[in-house]
Amino acid sequence: MSFSFIHISDIHLGRPFSGLSKFAYDEKINNLYKTAVEKAFYNAIEYAIIKNVDFVFIAGDTFDSDEHDFSSKLILKEGLKKLSDADIDVYLICGNHDPITSYNKNTFNYDVDSKIKIIGLNTPKYMDMDLYNKNGEKVACLHSLSFTDDKMNENPIDYFSKVSDNNTFNIGLLHCDLNADSISPYAPCNINELKSLGYDYWALGHIHVPSLNDDIIQYAGTIQGRNTKETGPHGIRYIKVENNKITKNSFISVDIIRFEDVNIDISGINDTTDALAKIEEELYKITNQDKNSCELFLIRLNLTGCTKFYSELNDEIFSVIADKIRTNSYNRIYISQIINGTIPNIDENILKDDEGIVGKVYNTAINQAIIQEVYSETKEKYKNLIASCNFTKQDYNSFAQNILQKSKEECLNLCSFLFESESKED
């Protein structure tokens, strides 16, 4: 027997983006801010339908506030109807942002036999329920709990029952603060407590960054980041189970706008034109990894490395670079900030002849005999481990040369930084 499901959490319908007013370049971008969450939600719905899953589990904070607007209600109801029409059972628990009391029965008027279950509204607040796949086979048991109000100071584990049938796949659906202090108001508990119940998968909500705390204990994360702190891809989890074993556990991005912090080393670049070319190349590598869902990338860029045109890197240059990248990417990549983390390229002869601490650091660090000695000692210490990797003699030599080159580069960076600091003090 087999079945599959989607794990979604922290949709936060109605929650605005924050700190993005300076990136509102045109009406198109403004509209994208307004519709990104809705689009991400429908991406998740469409994926569930395309994969023909048996169940969708939504792990709380579907709305951003218990006073959600009509538009947000409409978006949710339309999405849930699409799932129901596709013969997909939906189980939605309430979190601290959208407790049971925030779901008006006049709006969410699902009866007990509906394919849409809002736990605590048309079911008990805590529920154990057998799940049947589209073939009518009993394939799992769901254990779920909803927030009654915006706080749950008690440990939620007390509500959950231990596995009584080892021949059934058991799923826990919970909005909680995992590994938090026991005084947390958001259902504090820990991994060992969840494991003690013997479930096969925990679909968790509350933490916005997708994270795998254990093979079976997972936060799906929010489907759409809303500010520069919520970086990286956001989406849902797709799980396939066969004969009570998870055979597929995939993260699927559905976000429309993505925030990224990107570090790019421009050491060895000849001029600002070449720097722009490298920046574009590196950003395209990142943004082209996810061509389907993301319509806009907001990049906070940190330039690093040792460069001879250090003094030319100013706000005017950064503004031109940002404009060029936005234009060349057809308004798909916006650089929100460029941080100059580079250091000046100093003539090595100056460093070598320096009689202070900088000269000593430089002359010691570039001494290849010393570096070779350290490498040889390391190789001897870990020879058994290295041998198990089946390295060839050519691999050894290449590895050694890479270490030597990298050591010299790091040394130059350090010495340039120290030299520049001493110059400023003088």
* pLDDT tens-place string over residues 299-329: 999 998 888 888 788 899 999 999 999 999 8
- Tell whether the model's pLDDT for residue 92 goes beyond 70: yes
pLDDT class of 412 with cuts at 50, 70, 90: low
- Who contacts 106 (Cβ-Cβ below 8 Å, separation ≥6)? none
pLDDT tens sequence across 220-269: 999 999 888 899 999 999 999 999 999 999 999 999 999 999 999 998 88
Q: In the CATH hierarchy, which top-level class contains the domain 2-253?
A: alpha beta
Q: What is the pLDDT of residues 339-354, one digit of tens each?
A: 988 877 766 676 677 7
Token pair belonging to 290:
């996810």
CA 318 to CA 302: how far, in whole Å?
A: 11
Residue 286: predicted pLDDT? 84
In whole angstroms, what is the distance from residue 78 CA to residue 72 CA?
10
- Give this prediction's pTM: 0.80
Distance of alpha carbon 123 from its chain centroid, rounded?
Answer: 32
Look at residue 165 in the predicted model and tell me its pLDDT. 77
Under 8 Å CB-to-CB from 321, ≥6 apart: which residues? 272, 275, 276, 279, 335, 338
Which range is least confidently modeled, 31-45, 93-107, 115-129, 377-391? Answer: 377-391
Question: Which pLDDT does position 183 carry in this prediction?
Answer: 81
Per-residue model confidence (pLDDT) at position 67:
73
Instruction: Report whether pLDDT(20) > 80.
Output: no
pLDDT category, 401, cuts 50, 70, 90? Answer: low
Break the chain into its structural domains and give their ranges: 2-253, 257-344, 348-425
pLDDT confidence band for 99 (50 / 70 / 90): very high
**Unique residue bearing structure tokens 């403004």:** 30
Stretch 2-16: mean pLDDT, rounded?
A: 94
Of all residues in the chain, what percent carry a pLDDT higher than 90?
55
